[in-house]
Amino acid sequence: MTARNDHVLYQVSGMQYGSDIIGGGTSMPAPHQSPDVPAAAALDRAVARIAGQNWTAEQARALVSRLLDTMGIDYDRRVEVLGGLLVSEAVRPYWETGLAAGEAHERLWRNDAELAEIVEAVSTVLLARAEAQDEARAMIGFVETQILSPGPALKD
């Protein structure tokens, strides 16, 4: 296992990390994911309609792509959504058994080092993107504050 903190993996997957729990993310039941009850109910109905079908991997990929198209999710957000999904699905078999985050990550490394390496690489990319977005928002906020403040204008 690398020296990387395993909580970073869960952070970029959309899961909430604690020293002894992981919650949220794409693997939790819809009522625990979002306070948007109508959206959760619509998702439950859609899932019920497609449940039980014998989907091939290609059909599942096509369905996910179509969902992302229908939802209007652009390329950059797709990378975040699908990358986070990869991370959460890779560790889900381990943390759903009650293992702590660190133990789940360690177990993934022991059982599938290649997948664990991919998960860490994807997590690193997603974290870098999130940090860049945060920095950009902070800079925009700073510039807006400077422009709107009654003080002297910014100097070159």
- The model's pTM: 0.60
pLDDT of residue 14: 52
Q: Is the pLDDT of residue 13 over 70?
A: no
pLDDT in tens, 76-89: 889 889 999 998 89
What pLDDT does 155 receive? 55
Q: Roughly how many angstroms between the first and final C-alpha of the chain, as a whole number?
A: 48
Residue range 103-121, pLDDT digits in tens:
888 899 999 999 999 988 9
Section 131-146 average pLDDT: 87
Q: Amino acid letter at 39?
A: A
Q: How confident is the model at residue 100 (pLDDT cuts 50, 70, 90)?
A: confident
Q: Is the model more confident about 98 or about 101?
A: 98
Span 14-68, pLDDT tens digits: 544 443 444 444 443 333 444 567 778 888 888 888 888 888 999 989 989 998 9
> In the numeric block, which tokens belong to residue 44?
């439950």
Q: Is the pLDDT of residue 5 over 70?
A: no
What's the confidence (pLDDT) of residue 24? 43
DSSP 52-63: T----HHHHHHH
Helix then strand then coil, in percent of the chain rounded to 5, is 70, 5, 25
Picking from 27-31, 104-108, 125-129, 146-150, which range would have the lowest pLDDT averaged per residue? 27-31
Q: Is the pLDDT of residue 11 over 70?
A: no
pLDDT of residue 19: 39
